[in-house]
């Protein structure tokens, strides 16, 4: 496993980052023991970097692994808090829940926010700055799908880490093209920001092209690490082989017949865009989100690129 230092932070992370969203109640809803054990196995195999968010509800899983691991992994957390008190609560909640004296990276969770995010959430950023001065945070970051936000973040001295969306198709990128995002990431990296990537498989849309999709982002020299969600030992082993540059047997590649379509209620805005492209009428508008009839779903993936919120995944 290759390790890199995130920009000027001094924080050394594995090239493969464990994305914790997929194991939690918003998606696969594994038991605490099963999900926590998977994180623990990833740590024991060389992954030292875990990414999560307050809203993912995965602190218990991570705490389970941390309590059983002889080491101090790097943890990155995102919060939707908009003001000082809200961010203060988010930071203190995470410290207590994870039994940590500090959080390595604490980020503004701003996936679809506009360029105004730094003004609109200035109090939250101020809180992060204060808690970094107090030693409770090692680095301040922002997660975003927006090209302009990446560019702006690269110019803000208080921002240490940028977590952008990038993939070989450019799916999900806001306010620019894939090429624009690549230039923005390079600018952030050249300005000393740590940069690690999200959505390299576009929520499963590129799962059939997994090897090339990961290779594309690994080939971006200005990306330090890549966050990938995993829900089984088989997926963990496959990803480890990919990032360790080992031979991949055909039998290890994802079997689509074992997959299913998942709509994450937390992210779904019920816009109905996915319903319009479903060729088998497998999607309907439910009370809280779009619902899937798995007996009709073909796993064709036509709906995934239509979702502006990236609320749809194949797992």
User: To which H or E segment does residue 268 belong?
Assistant: none
* Percentage of residues of the chain with pLDDT beyond 90: 83
- What does the angle CA 313 – CA 314 – CA 315 come to, to the nearest 5 degrees? 110
Q: Residue holding tokens 């620019």?
A: 176
**Contact assessment for residue 74 and residue 65, using Cβ atoms and an 8 Å cutoff:** no
- Please state, in angstroms and rounded to a whole number, the distance separating the CA atoms of residues 28 and 40: 17
SS3 of residue 143 by DSSP: strand
Structure tokens at 241: 């082989």
pLDDT attached to residue 61:
98
Contact 167, 199 (CB under 8 A): yes
Distance of CA 202 to the CA centre of its chain: 11
Q: What is the pLDDT of residue 256?
A: 65
Name residue, tokens 């995965």: 58
CATH of 3-252 among 3.40.50.620, 3.40.50.300, 3.30.70.100, 3.20.20.100:
3.20.20.100
What is the residue-averaged pLDDT of the chain? 94
pLDDT in tens, 189-228: 999 999 999 999 987 878 889 999 999 999 999 999 999 9
Please state, in angstroms and rounded to a whole number, the distance separating the CA atoms of residues 217 and 162: 15
Q: Is the pLDDT of residue 186 over 80?
A: yes
Quote the pLDDT of residue 96: 98
Over residues 233-257, the mean pLDDT reads 89
pLDDT, one tens digit per residue, over 50-102 is 999 999 999 999 999 999 999 999 999 999 999 999 999 999 999 999 999 99
Q: pLDDT tens digits, residue range 144-180? A: 999 999 999 999 999 999 999 999 999 889 999 999 9
Task: Count Cβ atoms within 10 A of the Cβ of residue 157 and give its class: 0-12 exposed, 13-18 middle, 19 or more buried.
Answer: exposed
Closest CA to 265 of 312, 315, 215, 220: 312
Q: How far is CA 300 from the centre of its chain?
A: 23
Alpha helices, DSSP H, located in the chain: 32-44, 59-67, 84-98, 117-120, 122-133, 147-153, 178-190, 210-218, 233-243, 273-277
Q: Tell me the pLDDT band of 257, cut-offs 50, 70 and 90.
A: low
The predicted pLDDT at position 91 comes to 98
Residues 6+ apart with CB under 8 A from 127: 81, 84, 87, 88, 91
Give the residue carrying structure tokens 């995944």: 313
Domain with CATH 3.20.20.100 in the chain: 3-252
Query: CB–CB of 42/17 below 8 Å?
Result: no
Give the separation between CA 294 and CA 238, rounded to whole angstroms.
Answer: 26
Q: Name the more confident of 232 and 249.
A: 232
CB 224 within 8 A of CB 51: no
Query: Do 6 and 139 meet the contact criterion of CB atoms below 8 Å apart?
Result: yes
Name the residue with tokens 């493969």: 16
CA dihedral (156, 162, 164, 166) in degrees, to 10, reads 110
Angle at 101 between CA 89 and CA 118, to 5 degrees: 45
CATH code of the domain occupying 256-314? 3.30.70.20
The mean per-residue pLDDT over the stretch 281-291 comes to 93
CATH 3.30.70.20 spans which residues of the chain? 256-314
* End-to-end CA, the chain: 25
Give the confidence band of 301 by pLDDT, cuts at 50, 70, 90: confident
Q: How far is Cα of residue 158 from the mean position of the Cα atoms in its chain?
A: 21
Q: Which residue is associated with the tokens 């890549």?
A: 226
């Amino acid at each position: 496993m290759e390790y890199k230092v995130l920009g000027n932070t001094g924080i050394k992370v594995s090239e493969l980052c464990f994305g914790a969203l997929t194991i939690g109640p918003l998606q696969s809803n594994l038991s605490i023991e099963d999900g926590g054990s998977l994180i623990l196995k990833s740590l024991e195999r060389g992954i030292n970097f875990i990414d999560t968010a307050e809203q993912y509800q995965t602190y218990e899983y991570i705490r389970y692994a941390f309590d059983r691991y002889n080491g101090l992994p790097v943890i990155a957390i995102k919060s939707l808090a908009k003001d000082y008190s809200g961010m203060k609560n988010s930071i203190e909640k995470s410290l207590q829940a994870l039994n940590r004296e500090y959080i390595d990276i604490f980020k503004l969770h701003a996936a679809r926010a506009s360029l105004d995010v730094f003004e609109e959430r200035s109090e939250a950023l101020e809180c992060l700055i204060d808690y970094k001065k107090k030693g409770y945070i090692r680095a301040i970051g922002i997660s975003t799908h927006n090209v302009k936000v990446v560019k702006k973040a690269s110019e803000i001295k208080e921002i240490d880490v940028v977590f952008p969306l990038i993939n070989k198709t450019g799916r999900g990128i806001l306010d620019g093209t894939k090429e624009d995002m690549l230039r923005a990431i390079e600018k952030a990296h050249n300005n000393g920001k740590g940069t690690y990537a999200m959505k390299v498989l576009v929520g499963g849309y590129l799962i059939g092209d997994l090897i090339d999709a990961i290779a594309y982002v690994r080939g971006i020299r200005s990306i330090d690490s890549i966050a990938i969600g995993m829900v089984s030992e088989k997926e963990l082993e496959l990803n480890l082989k990919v990032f360790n540059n080992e031979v991949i047997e055909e039998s290890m590649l994802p079997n689509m017949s074992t997959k299913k379509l998942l709509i994450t209620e937390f992210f779904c805005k019920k816009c109905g865009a996915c319903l319009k492209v479903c060729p088998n009428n497998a999607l309907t508008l439910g009370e809280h989100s779009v619902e899937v009839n798995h007996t009709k779903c073909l796993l064709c993936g036509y709906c995934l690129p239509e979702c502006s919120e990236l609320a749809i995944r194949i797992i």
